């Protein structure tokens, strides 16, 4: 109950702040980030949402509440791989927020309409990811640590730092989503089930997605050069 109320307050405050400051917030982003966010959002929709539509119901029929053991590998894994490639190309504060917003709009108009839980968690998702990425120096353009996000060379510290940030953000957002679903839809989840879901979806699949993203970006750089 407390988490739901806090999420509603954060979302309301964020929407009011964003409405009056969106031009100032996005004015610092290069124009290529806007076109890139649109392209990558479309790629995510094709590679993540469409397979989930085609095979999601089948996995639920086969595995029931444990369908996440299968669906996470063709939703979360490719999603975070694309996010890593996107951040390596556009390591700017606000770039990921733009990607998240465009993706939510595409999904809302094509699949889920304007469902209450994704809408309420949108502000929290943006705030959590932007805060963690900025503090880690991944999207802080004034921080010299962001150089490893744009260089061709890879190192284990950059991979594990990115994985830790994205796993932490995904876990926090997922926990809040569970609370929202339990409040609005009167669902009950056992603690062990929530823990299992987070370990598979937010930890294992996110980590594998980050590894795949770094590998694919390296291959793309080699093709370009």
Its sign, for the CA torsion 215, 216, 221, 223, is positive
Q: Give the pLDDT confidence of 186-214 residue by residue, as tens digits.
A: 888 999 999 999 999 999 999 999 999 99
Predicted local confidence at residue 56, as pLDDT: 83
How far is residue 195's CA from residue 201's CA, in Å, rounded to a whole number?
10
State how far the Cα of 190 lies from the Cα of 175, in Å rounded to an integer.
13
**What does the pLDDT look like over 10-69, one tens digit per residue?**
888 888 887 777 777 778 888 899 999 999 999 999 999 888 888 888 898 899 989 999
The parent domain of residue 82 ranges over: 2-224
Exposed/middle/buried for residue 204 (C-beta within 10 Å: 0-12, 13-18, 19+):
middle
- Please give the backbone phi and psi of residue 87, each rounded to the nearest 5 degrees, phi first: -70, -30
Distance CA 124, CA 201 (A): 19
| pLDDT above 90 as % of the chain | 49
Res. 225: pLDDT tops 60: no
Work out how many domains the chain is built from and give that number.
1
What is the predicted pLDDT for the residue at 142?
57
For the stretch 122-171, pLDDT in tens is: 888 999 999 999 999 898 755 444 454 555 555 788 899 999 999 999 99
pLDDT of amino acid 175: 93
Kindly calculate the radius of gyration of the chain based on its CA atoms and give it in whole angstroms.
Answer: 17
Give the other-Cβ count within 10 Å of 142's Cβ.
8
> 7, exposed or middle or buried, with CB in 10 Å at 0-12, 13-18, 19+?
buried
pLDDT of 52-111, one tens digit each?
A: 888 888 898 899 989 999 999 989 999 999 999 999 999 999 899 999 999 988 888 877
How many CB atoms neighbour CB 34 within 10 A? 15
Instruction: Provide the pLDDT for residue 12.
Output: 84
Token pair in block for residue 24: 């100032």
Q: Which residue has the higher pLDDT, 142 or 9?
A: 9
The label of the residue with tokens 């990115």 reads: 162
CB 82 within 8 Å of CB 47: yes
Stated length of the chain:
225
């Amino acid at each position: 109950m407390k988490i739901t109320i806090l999420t509603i307050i954060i979302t309301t405050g964020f929407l009011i702040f964003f409405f009056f400051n969106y031009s100032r917030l996005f004015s610092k982003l290069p124009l290529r980030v806007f076109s890139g966010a649109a392209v990558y959002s479309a790629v995510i929709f094709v590679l993540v949402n469409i397979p989930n539509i085609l095979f999601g119901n089948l996995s639920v029929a086969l595995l029931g509440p444990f369908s996440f053991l299968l669906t996470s590998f063709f939703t979360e894994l490719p999603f975070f791989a694309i996010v890593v490639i996107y951040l390596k190309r556009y390591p700017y504060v606000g770039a990921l927020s733009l990607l998240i917003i465009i993706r939510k709009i595409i999904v809302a108009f094509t699949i889920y309409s304007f469902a209450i839980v994704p809408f309420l968690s949108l502000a929290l998702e943006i705030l959590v990811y932007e805060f963690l990425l900025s503090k880690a120096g991944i999207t802080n353009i004034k921080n010299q640590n962001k150089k490893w996000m744009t260089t061709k060379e890879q190192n284990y510290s950059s991979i594990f730092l990115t994985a830790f940030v994205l796993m932490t953000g995904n876990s926090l957002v997922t926990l809040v989503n569970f609370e929202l679903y339990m409040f609005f839809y009167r669902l009950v989840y056992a603690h062990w089930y929530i823990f299992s879901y987070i370990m598979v979806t937010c930890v294992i699949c996110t980590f594998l997605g980050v590894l795949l993203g770094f590998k694919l970006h390296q291959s793309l750089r080699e093709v370009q050069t």
